[in-house]
Amino acid sequence: MRARSLGHSKRSVGGVRYTKAVPDRVVELLLTEGALDKLGARAISADEVAELLRNAYAVVRNPRAPTPGSRRLLIGRTNGGRCLTLVIEQAVEPTTWLTITGWESTEIERKLLSDR
């Protein structure tokens, strides 16, 4: 599944700019023990992470990435309808991404997903 364009507009919340979707293809998400611990602290399971790729999702640049363009936000819904945002970083394989952390999507992140 490819991320679809969110349009040409930029959205800002709290001074953070979210830009339109980027054409990155996400086929596989890898989870480290550290990522599982971070997700678990927010009651997000590995199964829910896997579900995001089987449902509609959007990929946008992470406006808070330590190096501009190095990380993305994957915003999607679980089978149960829960909207989650993951911080991901590209691995060696271009369609494989490393999950850094995640949380319940904010209102603006849910809007970015619904605009796709």
pLDDT at 66: 81
pLDDT at 63: 83
Separation of CA 63 from chain center: 12
pLDDT at 3: 38
Which position has the token pair 């494989």? Answer: 96
CATH class of 11-114: alpha beta
pTM of the predicted model as reported, rounded to 2 decimal places: 0.80
**Nearest residue to 76 (alpha-carbon basis) of 101, 94, 58:** 58
pLDDT at 18: 58
The domain locations on the chain are 11-114
Indicate the residue type of 20.
K
Q: Encode pLDDT of 20-65 as tens digits.
A: 556 678 999 999 999 999 999 999 999 999 999 999 999 998 888 8
d(CA 17, CA 64): 9
